[in-house]
C-alpha cells in the first residue's frame, strides 16, 4: 500500500490514506465508507478533489461505535467476493424481478444473475423457492437502496456489469387505463417513479447493456413521455460519464418468435459503447418461409382433461354464457352480425371479455389481474390452471409459483415470456457483447404436439341471458364511452 506523509491537524506526521485504502483497512467494499463521512461523522479531510483520512482517527471513530453497521458491510463485501468467484458467464442485475420470467430466459441464454430487486413478498418467495442461489436485495423496495449499495450486494463495481435488466411496473402506461378512464395517469402515477430509479442504477452501474421491458403504451404516439424521460436521462448520463447509450426501441409480439401466446411488449435496449441493436427477424407465423406458430395445444394439450377442480370453475354474472361462445372468440360472437345472439353492442366491452382459447392458435395475452369475466378462458369454458398459465408464458415445468391463485395469476401475468427473454439474451450476446458461437435454437419453446382435436362443441345460450336480446348501440370510439365521459367530468372517479 502506497501512502503519502504530511503534517496532520495537530502538527503530527502521519500517513494520509485515500478512500480505497481506508476501505481495505476496514475490510469493507470500496465506496462503503463514503456515506459515513458527513452524516455519520467519519473524520475526513478534503484535499483537492479527494477525501483523505488518518488511520488513528478512523480506528477511534470505529471503536466509539461510529460504524454500527460495519459487520454487515464486511459481510456484504465477502458475499460480493464469493459471487464474483462463482460467475462464469456474462452478468445480469435484475430490477423489478417479479416471478423471474425475464431472468429465467436470460439464465437459459447463459447469463449469471448477481442480484434481484423485487418488492412483492410472494414473488420474492417464488424466487427463493426456485432459485435459492439468486441473491435478493433486502428490503425489496428499490427506493430504499442507494444504487451503489445494490452494486455492492451483487459483488459488482462501476462498469463491471454486463447487463442491467428489468420491467418497471407497467400499469401507468397500460392499455387498460385507456379503456376504463379514456386515458391513464402515466408519469402522474406514483409507480412511474420506478423509471427514475432504473436510470439511477444505470448511472451507478454503467452496464455494458441496459434492457427495459414495458407495455406498448410507453411509446404511444403523443403519449410517449415515459420513453422521452428515459432518452433524456440517458443523454444527461452520456454527458456526465462520457458514455454513449443510444436507445433502440423494439416492438415485439412473442408469438412471432415461437412463444405460444400473442403478447405485444416494448423492449428498450442501449449499449454503453453506442452499438446499435438491430431488430431480429420474425421466425414464426402464417407466411411463407416461417415456422408455424406454436399453439395453445402445443403448450397445454397434454393437460387437457374432461374434469377439473372446482377452483377452475368460472364465476360471476356471465360465467354460464361461456359454453355458447366458440373457441378463439369473445363476447363479440353475441353482437349483431357476430353469429350468436344480439346480447351486446359492438365493442361495448373490453376485448378480453369472455375471451376463449382456440387449440390451433397461440393463446391470447395472459392477464395479470383479470375480473371474473376476463379471459383468456380454456377452450372447455373454465379458468386456466396456474400450470397452464406458466406453460403459456414458457416457464419451465419444475418452476413453482408461490402464493394463492390470485397472486400466482398476477405474478405470471406480469412476467416476460421466458423464451422471448432467452432470445433477447442470445441476441444481446451476439450483437453487443461480441460473444462467439452464440446458438440460435431456443431451449424454452414448447414442442409441436401435432394436430389438435376438433373444436369443442358449442352449446345453446341459456334462457336466463335471452332477455338481453335487442338492438344494442356500438361503442362510440376510444375515450368516448360513458365511463370515460364520467371520468372526464370528475377525474377523481379514475382513481
Q: Which residues are catalytic?
A: 170
Decide if 263 contacts 367 (C-beta within 8 A).
Answer: no
Exposure letters 308-341 (e unless 16+ CB within 10 A, then b): eeeebebeeebbebbbbbbbbbbbbbbbbebebb
- DSSP 3-state of 410: helix
What is the rounded CA–CA span in Å between residue 202 and residue 78? Answer: 24
What is the rounded CA–CA span in Å between residue 262 and residue 253? Answer: 6
SS3 letters for 414-453? CCCCHHHHHHHHHHHHHHCCCCCCCCCCCCCCCCCCCCCC
Decide if 83 contacts 154 (C-beta within 8 A).
Answer: yes
Contact residues for 39 (Cβ-Cβ < 8 A; gap 6+)? none
Q: How far is CA 213 from CA 96, 219, 306, in A?
A: 10, 12, 38
- Check whether the bond before 148 is cis (ω within 30° of 0): no
Upper half-sphere CA count for residue 244 (Cβ side, 13 Å)? 4
Amino acid at each position: 500500500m502506497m501512502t503519502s506523509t504530511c503534517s496532520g491537524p495537530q502538527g503530527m506526521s502521519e500517513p494520509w490514506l485515500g478512500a480505497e485504502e481506508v476501505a481495505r483497512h476496514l475490510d469493507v467494499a470500496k465506496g462503503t465508507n463514503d456515506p459515513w463521512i458527513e452524516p455519520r461523522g467519519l473524520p475526513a479531510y478534503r484535499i483537492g478533489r479527494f477525501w483523505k483520512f488518518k488511520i488513528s482517527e478512523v480506528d477511534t471513530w470505529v471503536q466509539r461505535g461510529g460504524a454500527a453497521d460495519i459487520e454487515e458491510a464486511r459481510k456484504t463485501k465477502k458475499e460480493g467476493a464469493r459471487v464474483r468467484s462463482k460467475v462464469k458467464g456474462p452478468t445480469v442485475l435484475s430490477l423489478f424481478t417479479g416471478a423471474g420470467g425475464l431472468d429465467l430466459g436470460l439464465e437459459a441464454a447463459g447469463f449469471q444473475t448477481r442480484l434481484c430487486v423485487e418488492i412483492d413478498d410472494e414473488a420474492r418467495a417464488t424466487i427463493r423457492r426456485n432459485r435459492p442461489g439468486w441473491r435478493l436485495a433486502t428490503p425489496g423496495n428499490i427506493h430504499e437502496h442507494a444504487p451503489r449499495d445494490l452494486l455492492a450486494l451483487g459483488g459488482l463495481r462501476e462498469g463491471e456489469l454486463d447487463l442491467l435488466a428489468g420491467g418497471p411496473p407497467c400499469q401507468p402506461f397500460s392499455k387498460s387505463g385507456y379503456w376504463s378512464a379514456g386515458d391513464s395517469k402515466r408519469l402522474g402515477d406514483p409507480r412511474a417513479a420506478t423509471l427514475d430509479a432504473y436510470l439511477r442504477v444505470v448511472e451507478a452501474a454503467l452496464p455494458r447493456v441496459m434492457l427495459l421491458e414495458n407495455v406498448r403504451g410507453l411509446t404511444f404516439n403523443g403519449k410517449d413521455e415515459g420513453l422521452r424521460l428515459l432518452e433524456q436521462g440517458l443523454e444527461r448520463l452520456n454527458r456526465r460519464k462520457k458514455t454513449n447509450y443510444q436507445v433502440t426501441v423494439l416492438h415485439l409480439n412473442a408469438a412471432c418468435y415461437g412463444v405460444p401466446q400473442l403478447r405485444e411488449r416494448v423492449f428498450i435496449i442501449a449499449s454503453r459503447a453506442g452499438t446499435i441493436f438491430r431488430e431480429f427477424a420474425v421466425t414464426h407465423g402464417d407466411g411463407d418461409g416461417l415456422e408455424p406458430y406454436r399453439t395453445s395445444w402445443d403448450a397445454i394439450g397434454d393437460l387437457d382433461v374432461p374434469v377439473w377442480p372446482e377452483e377452475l370453475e368460472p364465476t360471476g354474472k356471465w360465467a354460464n354464457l361461456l359454453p355458447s361462445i366458440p373457441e378463439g372468440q369473445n363476447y363479440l360472437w353475441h353482437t349483431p352480425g357476430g353469429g350468436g345472439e344480439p346480447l351486446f353492442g359492438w365493442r361495448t366491452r373490453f376485448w378480453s371479455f369472455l375471451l376463449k382459447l382456440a387449440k390451433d392458435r397461440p393463446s391470447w395475452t395472459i392477464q395479470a389481474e383479470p375480473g371474473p369475466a376476463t379471459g383468456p378462458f380454456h377452450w372447455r369454458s373454465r379458468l386456466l390452471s396456474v400450470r397452464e398459465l406458466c406453460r403459456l408464458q414458457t416457464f419451465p415445468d419444475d418452476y413453482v409459483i408461490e402464493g394463492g391463485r390470485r397472486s400466482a395469476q398476477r405474478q405470471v401475468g406480469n412476467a416476460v415470456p421466458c423464451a422471448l427473454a432467452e432470445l433477447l439474451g442470445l441476441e444481446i450476446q451476439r450483437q453487443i457483447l461480441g460473444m462467439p458461437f452464440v446458438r440460435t435454437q431456443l431451449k424454452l419453446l414448447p414442442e409441436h404436439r401435432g394436430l389438435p382435436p376438433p373444436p369443442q362443441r358449442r352449446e345453446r345460450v341459456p334462457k336466463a341471458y335471452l332477455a338481453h336480446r335487442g338492438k344494442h348501440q356500438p361503442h362510440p370510439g376510444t375515450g368516448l364511452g360513458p365511463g370515460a365521459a364520467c371520468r372526464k367530468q370528475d377525474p377523481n372517479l379514475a382513481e
